[in-house]
Amino acid sequence: MKHTLRLRPGNYVHLDTYTKGVHPLYPVAAIGIIGMLVIGCILSLKMHQASSNPGTVCPTDRSEYYGPGC
C-alpha cells in the first residue's frame, strides 16, 4: 500500500509498505496434506463398511457357517 507524506508545500515523500509473502510451497503442502487425510478417511470408511457387510450369502444348512461373518 502506498502512502504519500507531505513534508511541506511542494515536498512529498512516497512510502511503500513491505510485507513478506507466503512461500509458494505452503499452500501446496497444505492442500496435499488435507487431500491425503480426506482420502484416508474415505478409504477407512469403505473398508469398515466392507468388513461389516461382506455382501456374500452364507449357507444355512450347516451350523459351522453361522460365524461372525454370516
pLDDT tens track for 21-66? 788 899 999 999 999 999 999 998 888 776 666 555 665 666 655 5
Looking at residue 37, its pLDDT comes to 96
Please indicate, yes or no, whether the overall pTM of this predicted structure exceeds 0.85.
Answer: no
Between 1 and 44, the higher pLDDT residue: 44
Question: Strand, coil or helix: what is 53?
Answer: coil
Looking at residue 56, its pLDDT comes to 58
**Would you give the end-to-end CA distance of the chain in angstroms?**
69
Looking at residue 39, its pLDDT comes to 95
**Separation between Cα atoms, residue 46 and residue 56, nearest integer Å:** 16
* Residue 5's pLDDT band (cuts 50, 70, 90): confident
